C-alpha cells in the first residue's frame, strides 16, 4: 500500500468505480468506524476555536453530524484509555493500571511484561456475534507479546505497530518497534518504515489511510458489516507528516501532522459516500488523551481553555474532541452537551449491532444511541470518573467537578524540565506533591470556570449542595469497585521486540537477552 501521492486516490477511485455495478444492500447491522487520534487536544480543531482553521474536513464532519463538547477519555494516558475504549471498562477494572506506586500513570512500553487480560472481552470479539469483520489500523498499545496482540483479541486484520514510534534505537540495547501486517512483522520503524527525526518526514499516515480505504472497499464489495478501528499516531511526539504536508501549517510540524490526519479523514468519509454506504456507517472521531503540553511548543497540540494536559486529571488531560457522523441518522449540525466518555462507545456499538452486552461484568459505559439518533440529553445525573492509576482523583457531575486528589507531577520531575502545565500553574491546584482533599474536595463550576482556576468557597451553600450530591456517588462507586489484577507492574528487557513473528523471513530477528524482571518505575 505504499503508493506515491500522485498515484494514490486516482488509482483507488478508478478501481472501485470500475468494479461497482450496483449499490451494496442496506444491511441491518451498521458499519462502525472509530477514529482514535493520539495526543490530539480538544483545542486542535477549527470547530472548537483553533485560530489557524486548518481542519476543514473535521469541521465539515461536525457540520454534517454531531459535536460532543463534554466527551472524555478514561485515563490521561494512551494505553489505559485504549483498553477502556475496547473493553467498556475503567482501567482500574480491566487491569490497565499499576500498584507499584500511588496514583501513577502506566502504559505499555516494549519492556512491559503484561498486556490486556485474557478475561476481558474486547469489542471486535463481541461484534463477531453479528458477523462483523474487524480491522485495526495503526497503534495497538495493549501489549506486544504474542498473546496480547489484536488477532488474539477479536480483530480479523491489523496493519500497524504494538507500541509508540519512539526511536531510532541501535537494536543492541533496545530494538526498533516492529510494524505488523496481521500476525507477522513486515519491518521496523526507522528501518523499512522511515521516520526522519530531523525533518519529520514519514509516509505512515498515508499508508494507514490506504489500509483503511482498502479494508472498507473489500467489506463493501463482500456486503459484510465491518468495524474499522483507525488509530494513527502522527500527533504523538516525535510528530511526523508526509512530504506533501510538511511545512504547510501555521502551527509548525505538529500542525502539519494534524492537516494530514484531517485530509485522511476527509478521504475516508468521501470513500464511504462513493461506495454508497455512508448512510449505513457510524463514524466516531475522538482522541486517546489530551495534548501532551510537555512536548511543546513544537510537538504538542492545544487543549483550548482547559487546564494542563496529558498525564493529568485536569480537564486538559481528559476532555477530548469528539464528533459523531452518520448521514441520514444523526441530524446535521447538532451539538449535544451530554457527559460521555470512550467507554460509552463499547456499549453504543453493541446496541447498534443488536448485541446484548456481557452480563458477567461491570461495564462503565452507557448507550448513547438516544443521544446520537434522537438528540436527547437523557443521562442528566451521569458522573465522569477521573482516574490516575489506582486512585480516583476527581468526579464530574453536571457542571461541577470535585477534586479528591491534586497532582501535576513530582518536584523531582518538574525540576528536570518535565512540565504538564506549562504557563498554567494554579496555586493549590496544580500541585507538585500529591495532595489529598478527600475530607474537603476542591470543587469547580466548569461552565463558569473551564480552566479550573477558581475553587468554590467551602463556606457557600453552593459548595455544600454540590458536595451532598457528589459524595453519595463517590461512596457508592468505591464501595462496589472490584479492581482488576494490575497488568502494568512488571518489566523485563527479555520481552522487548527482539524477535517478533515473521522476523526470520525478513532476517530481522535479534538476540534475546537474559531475563531480568523488575518492578516498572512509573514517575508520573
State pLDDT tens for residues 379-399.
Answer: 789 999 999 999 999 999 999
pLDDT, residue 22, reads: 39
List own/partner pairs for 164-171 with CB under 8 A and 24 or more apart: 164/78, 164/109, 164/139, 164/233, 164/236, 165/189, 165/195, 165/204, 165/233, 165/236, 165/238, 165/240, 166/238, 167/195, 168/195, 168/197, 171/510
Alpha-carbon distance of 74 to 364, in angstroms, equals 10
Q: For residue 18, how many C-alpha atoms fall within 13 Å in the half-sphere facing its CB?
A: 6
The predicted model gives 451-470 an average pLDDT of: 98
Res. 360 pLDDT band, cuts 50 70 90? very high
Alpha-carbon distance of 234 to 247, in angstroms, equals 15
pLDDT, residue 24, reads: 40
Is the CB of residue 35 less than 8 Å from the CB of residue 284? yes
Res. 376 pLDDT band, cuts 50 70 90? confident
Q: Would you say residue 331 has pLDDT above 60?
A: yes
Burial zone of 334 (CB within 10 Å; 0-12 exposed, 13-18 middle, 19+ buried): middle
Q: Which of 17, 18, 102, 141 is catalytic?
A: 141
At 220-236, the pLDDT tens digits run 999 999 999 999 999 99
Q: Would you say residue 15 has pLDDT above 60?
A: no
Q: Strand, coil or helix: what is 249?
A: coil
The predicted model gives 489-504 an average pLDDT of: 98
Res. 19 pLDDT band, cuts 50 70 90? very low
The three cell numbers of residue 301 are 497540540
pLDDT, residue 26, reads: 40
pLDDT, residue 13, reads: 52
Contact residues for 56 (Cβ-Cβ < 8 A; gap 6+):
46, 262, 266
Alpha-carbon distance of 136 to 36, in angstroms, equals 11
The three cell numbers of residue 231 are 488509530
Is the CB of residue 159 less than 8 Å from the CB of residue 208? yes
Is the CB of residue 24 less than 8 Å from the CB of residue 226? no
State yes or no: cis peptide before 238, omega within 30 of 0: yes
78 catalytically annotated: yes
At 170-179, the pLDDT tens digits run 999 999 999 9
At 77-103, the pLDDT tens digits run 999 999 999 999 999 999 999 999 999
What are the backbone angles phi and psi of residue 189, rounded to the nearest 5°?
Answer: -55, 145
At 264-285, the pLDDT tens digits run 999 999 999 999 999 999 999 9
pLDDT, residue 2, reads: 39
Res. 12 pLDDT band, cuts 50 70 90? low
The three cell numbers of residue 59 are 469541521
The predicted model gives 62-90 an average pLDDT of: 98
Element (H, E) at 220: helix 204-222
Q: Would you say residue 470 has pLDDT above 70?
A: yes
364-385 b/e (C-beta count within 10 Å ≥ 16 → b): bbbbbbbbbbeeeeebeebbbb
CA 517 to chain centre: 29
Considering just the CA atoms, what is the radius of gyration of the chain in Å? 22
Alpha-carbon distance of 494 to 145, in angstroms, equals 11
Alpha-carbon distance of 247 to 253, in angstroms, equals 7
Max intra-chain CA distance, the chain: 72
Q: Which of 78, 421, 491, 520 is catalytic?
A: 78
Mark out the alpha helices in 429-501 (DSSP H runs): 461-480
Q: How many other C-beta atoms lie within 10 A of the C-beta of residue 415?
A: 10
Is the CB of residue 290 less than 8 Å from the CB of residue 304? no
Q: Would you say residue 448 has pLDDT above 90?
A: yes
Q: What is the dihedral of CA 459, 461, 463, 466, to 10 degrees?
A: 160
The three cell numbers of residue 69 are 463538547
Alpha-carbon distance of 108 to 308, in angstroms, equals 23
Q: Would you say residue 18 has pLDDT above 70?
A: no
Crossing angle of helices 204-222 and 253-274, in 10° steps, is 10
Across all residues in the chain, what is the average pLDDT? Answer: 95
Amino acid at each position: 500500500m505504499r503508493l506515491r501521492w500522485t498515484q494514490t486516490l486516482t488509482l483507488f477511485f478508478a478501481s472501485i468505480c470500475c468494479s461497482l455495478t450496483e449499490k451494496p444492500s442496506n444491511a441491518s447491522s451498521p458499519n462502525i468506524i472509530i477514529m482514535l487520534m493520539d495526543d490530539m487536544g480538544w483545542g486542535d480543531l477549527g470547530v472548537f476555536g483553533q485560530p489557524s482553521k486548518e481542519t476543514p474536513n473535521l469541521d465539515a464532519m461536525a457540520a454534517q453530524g454531531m459535536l460532543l463538547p463534554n466527551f472524555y477519555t478514561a485515563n490521561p494516558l494512551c494505553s489505559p484509555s485504549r483498553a477502556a475504549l475496547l473493553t467498556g471498562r475503567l482501567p482500574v477494572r480491566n487491569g490497565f493500571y499499576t500498584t507499584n506506586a500511588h496514583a501513577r500513570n502506566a502504559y505499555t512500553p516494549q519492556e512491559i511484561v503484561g498486556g490486556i487480560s485474557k478475561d476481558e472481552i474486547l469489542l471486535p470479539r463481541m461484534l463477531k456475534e453479528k458477523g462483523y469483520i474487524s480491522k485495526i489500523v495503526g497503534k495497538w498499545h495493549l501489549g506486544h507479546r504474542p498473546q496480547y496482540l489484536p488477532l488474539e483479541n477479536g480483530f480479523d486484520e491489523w496493519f500497524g505497530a504494538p507500541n509508540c514510534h519512539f526511536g531510532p534505537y541501535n537494536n543492541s540495547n533496545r530494538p526498533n518497534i516492529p510494524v505488523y501486517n496481521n500476525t507477522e512483522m513486515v519491518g521496523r520503524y526507522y528501518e523499512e518504515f522511515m521516520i526522519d527525526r530531523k525533518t519529520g518526514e514519514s509516509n505512515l499516515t498515508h499508508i494507514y489511510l490506504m489500509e483503511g480505504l482498502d479494508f472498507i472497499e473489500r467489506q463493501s464489495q463482500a456486503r459484510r458489516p465491518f468495524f474499522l478501528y483507525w488509530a494513527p499516531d502522527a500527533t504523538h511526539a516525535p510528530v511526523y507528516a508526509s512530504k506533501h504536508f510538511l511545512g504547510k501549517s501555521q502551527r509548525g510540524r505538529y500542525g502539519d501532522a494534524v492537516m494530514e490526519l484531517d485530509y485522511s479523514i476527509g478521504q475516508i468519509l468521501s470513500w464511504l459516500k462513493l461506495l454508497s454506504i455512508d448512510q449505513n456507517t457510524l463514524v466516531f472521531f475522538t482522541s486517546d488523551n489530551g495534548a501532551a503540553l510537555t512536548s511543546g511548543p513544537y510537538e504538542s497540540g492545544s487543549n483550548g481553555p482547559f487546564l494542563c494536559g496529558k498525564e493529568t486529571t485536569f480537564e486538559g488531560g481528559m476532555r477530548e474532541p469528539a464528533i459523531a457522523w452518520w448521514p441520514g441518522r444523526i441530524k446535521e449540525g447538532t451539538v449535544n452537551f451530554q457527559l460521555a466518555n470512550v467507554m460509552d462507545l463499547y456499549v453504543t456499538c453493541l446496541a447498534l449491532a443488536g448485541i446484548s452486552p456481557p452480563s458477567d461484568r461491570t461495564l462503565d459505559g452507557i448507550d448513547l444511541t438516544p443521544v446520537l439518533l434522537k438528540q436527547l440529553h437523557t443521562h442528566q445525573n451521569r458522573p465522569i470518573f477521573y482516574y490516575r492509576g489506582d486512585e480516583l482523583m476527581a468526579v464530574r457531575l453536571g457542571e461541577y467537578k470535585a477534586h479528591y486528589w491534586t497532582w501535576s507531577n513530582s518536584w523531582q520531575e518538574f525540576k528536570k524540565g518535565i512540565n504538564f502545565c506549562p504557563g498554567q500553574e494554579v496555586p493549590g491546584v496544580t500541585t507538585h506533591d500529591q495532595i489529598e482533599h478527600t475530607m474537603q474536595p476542591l470543587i469547580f463550576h466548569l461552565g463558569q470556570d473551564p480552566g479550573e482556576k477558581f475553587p468554590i468557597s467551602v463556606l457557600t451553600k453552593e459548595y455544600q449542595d454540590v458536595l451532598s450530591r457528589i459524595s453519595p456517588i463517590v461512596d457508592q462507586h468505591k464501595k462496589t469497585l472490584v479492581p482488576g489484577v494490575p497488568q502494568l507492574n512488571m518489566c523485563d528487557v527479555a520481552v522487548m521486540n527482539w524477535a517478533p513473528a515473521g522476523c526470520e523471513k525478513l532476517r530481522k530477528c535479534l538476540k534475546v537477552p537474559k531475563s531480568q524482571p523488575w518492578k516498572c518505575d512509573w514517575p508520573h
